[in-house]
Amino acid sequence: MRRFQLLVLLMIWAVQSLLSAAEFKLTNGDVIRGEPASVDAEGIVIRREIGGFSERISWARLTQDSLKILLEDPQAKKFAEPFIEVPIEIKKEKEKKKEIVIREPPRPERPVQKSFFAGLLTPAGFMVLGIIFFANLYTAFHIAKFRGRPVALVVGTSVILPVIGPIIFLSMPSTDAVAPPPTEAAPVNTDVVSAEAKVSGMQSSLGLAAHQKGGPKQDNQAQVYKRTEVTMDRRFFETKFAGYFRMVPENPDMVLVVKTAKQEYVARRISRISSNEVHLQLLRGNTEVGVPFGEISEVMVRHKDAK
């Protein structure tokens, strides 16, 4: 053990003695003689042989020979080595020695494809089957009610034959559609029938006579809708005056009177309507005018000859 320590000390002493008298040349031509005092990533400080210390010299300012000398110093080697230029021939030889090995990347294993029926054996598959089963029973129940069939019969068949059972009963006619068997007709009293025929004949003849003589007609009563009583909007016109949206109104003798604060419009029909106003086809002139809902104060239905 002591021999090894002495050998290490001798090597360090030899390096220090070798570097103690080393000359460090700079790229600008200056020469500094001495030994390294401090090294780091920023550069080196040299203890001058004549005494004193130099400023910190960056590694890029040292010549290649000076950098090679510093390779003997274990502390300075790791900082000086990156700045040493390698000849091109050596670089090419190193590149030739490097062999490119192409390796295929590992490929993941493909999942095993499962059949449709294997997917139904999962919890989610059982849930889907349960929903379809109860929907089948629910449909069968309503088909039994719709066709007038026994509920137990239709539902039981749907349990044994899902989907097919409800389709069978749905395609069958309902029991209400079957006509009842004919019954024996009761004897008809001819005297009663003849009396009723005479009465109806007299009534029809009276009605025909009244029509020919210009009998009484049904009075056309005026209808008035005020803004204080109803809401003047599109829904109001579409529900109350649906017959006036036709090209030929149901009762051509009745007109629609729309009043505003400034004017009164007498219209035969409603040509079109929007969310904000109604368009009227006037009785006179056959022109179209638009009236906003906010300006309407009253709507009246009256006879066209009334005033």
CATH, residue 282: 2.30.30.520
Judge whether 228 lies within some domain. yes
pLDDT (tens digit, 9 = 90+) per residue, 257-270? Answer: 999 988 999 998 99
Give the domain extent around 135.
121-174
Listed residues 174, 198, 213: the one ending a domain = 174
CATH number at residue 32: 2.30.30.700
The total number of structural domains in the chain stands at 3
User: In this model, does residue 199 exceed pLDDT 60?
Assistant: no
pLDDT (tens digit, 9 = 90+) per residue, 18-55? Answer: 445 578 888 888 888 888 888 888 888 888 888 888 88
- pTM here? 0.31
Q: Are 7 and 77 part of one and the same domain?
A: yes
pLDDT at 298: 93
Mean pLDDT of 234-256: 88
Q: Are 233 and 282 part of one and the same domain?
A: yes
Judge whether 114 lies within some domain. no
Judge whether 41 lies within some domain. yes
Judge whether 103 lies within some domain. no
Tokens found for residue 262: 């400034």
As a whole number, the mean pLDDT across the chain is 77
Q: Are 83 and 132 part of one and the same domain?
A: no
Listed residues 47, 67, 89: the one ending a domain = 89
Judge whether 107 lies within some domain. no
Judge whether 216 lies within some domain. no
pLDDT at 95: 66
Judge whether 148 lies within some domain. yes
Q: Are 44 and 84 part of one and the same domain?
A: yes
Judge whether 99 lies within some domain. no
Listed residues 65, 89, 113: the one ending a domain = 89
Q: Are 155 and 232 part of one and the same domain?
A: no
